[in-house]
Amino acid sequence: MSPVDPKAGKARQKWSPRDPETPGADTDAVPALRVHGLCKEFRARGERPGDGTVAASDVSFAVPAGGALGIVGESGSGKSTIARMLVGLLAPDRGTVEVDGRERSFRSHVGRAQRLARAREVQMVFQDPYVSLDPRLSAEQCVGSVLRLHGLGDRAARARRTAELLDQVGLGSREAAARPHALSGGQRQRLSIARALAAGPRVLVLDEAVSALDVSIQAQIVRLLADLRRDSDVALVFVTHDLAVVQHVTDDLLVLYRGVAVEQGRTAEVLAAPRHAYTQLLVGSVPRPGWDPAEVVRLRAAVLGATV
Partner 1 sequence: MTMRTDAAPLLHIADLTVELPGAGARRPVLDGVDLRVHRGEVVGLVGESGSGKSTTAKAVLAMLPDDAEIAGTVAVGGADVLGMDARTLRELRANRVSMVHQDPRSSLNPVRRIGDYLTERMVHTMGRRPADARAHALELLTAVGITRPEQRMRQFPHELSGGMVQRVVIAAALAGDPELLLADEATSALDVTTQAEILAILREHQAARGLGMLFITHDLHLAAAYCDRVYVMYAGRVVEERSAERLFRDPRHPYTAGLLACTPELGDARALRPIPGRPPSLDDAFAGCPFVARCPSAETECETWRPFPREIGGGVDDDGVVACRLADVRDRPGPDPVDQVVRIEKVGS
Our finding on whether 75 is near partner 1 (CB under 8 A) is yes
Q: Which stretch binds partner 1 (CB under 8 A): 21-29, 46-54, 95-103, 295-303?
A: 295-303
**Which one, 164 or 214, has the nearer CB to partner 1?**
214
Phi/psi at 92 (5° precision): -75, 160
Number of residues located near partner 1, criterion CB under 8 A:
43
Stretch that binds partner 1, among 10-18, 90-98, 114-122, 241-249 (CB under 8 A): 241-249
Whichever of 37 and 170 has its CB closer to partner 1, that residue is 170
| Minimum CB distance to partner 1 smaller for 74 or for 128 | 74
Which residue lies nearer to partner 1 by CB, 160 or 298?
298
Instruction: Report d(CA 216, CA 116) in Å as an integer.
Output: 36
Binding residues for partner 1 restricted to 80-139, rule: CB under 8 A: none
Q: Binding of partner 1 at residue 308 (CB under 8 A)?
A: yes
Read off the amino acid at residue 62: A
CB atoms within 10 A of CB 219: 15
Q: At its nearest, how many Å lie between partner 1 and the CB of residue 131? A: 17
Q: Residue 44, interface with partner 1 (CB under 8 A)?
A: no
Among the listed residues 189, 186, 163, 185, the one whose alpha carbon sits nearest the alpha carbon of residue 176: 163
Q: Which of 148, 143, 233 is nearest to 190 (CA)?
A: 143
Is 230 a binding residue for partner 1 by CB under 8 A? The answer is no
DSSP, residue by residue, 265-296: EEHHHHHHS--SHHHHHHHHTS--TT--HHHH
Q: Which region, judged by CB under 8 A, interacts with partner 1, from 45-53, 80-88, 140-148, 279-287? A: 279-287
Burial of 304 (0-12, 13-18, 19+ CB in 10 A): middle
Helix axes 139-149, 155-168, angle to 10 degrees: 130
Asked if 271 is part of the footprint of partner 1 (rule: CB under 8 A), the reply reads yes
Exactly one of 96, 132, 141, 220 binds partner 1 (CB under 8 A); which one? Answer: 220
Give the Cα separation of 206 and 86 in Å (integer): 11
Strand order in the sheet with 102-103: 53-63, 33-42, 94-99, 102-103
**Contact window for partner 1 (CB under 8 A) among 26-34, 95-103, 212-220, 229-237:** 212-220
| Choices 20-28, 80-88, 195-203, 286-294 (CB under 8 A): range interacting with partner 1 | 286-294
Nearest to 214 by CA among 241, 179, 189, 234: 189
How many helices (H) and strands (E) the chain has is answered by 12, 10
x/- track of binding to partner 1 for residues 186-205 (CB under 8 A): x-------------------
Q: What is the contact surface with partner 1 in residues (CB under 8 A)? A: 74-75, 184, 186, 214-220, 222-223, 226, 241-245, 247-248, 268, 271-272, 281-283, 285-291, 293-294, 296-297, 300, 304, 306-308
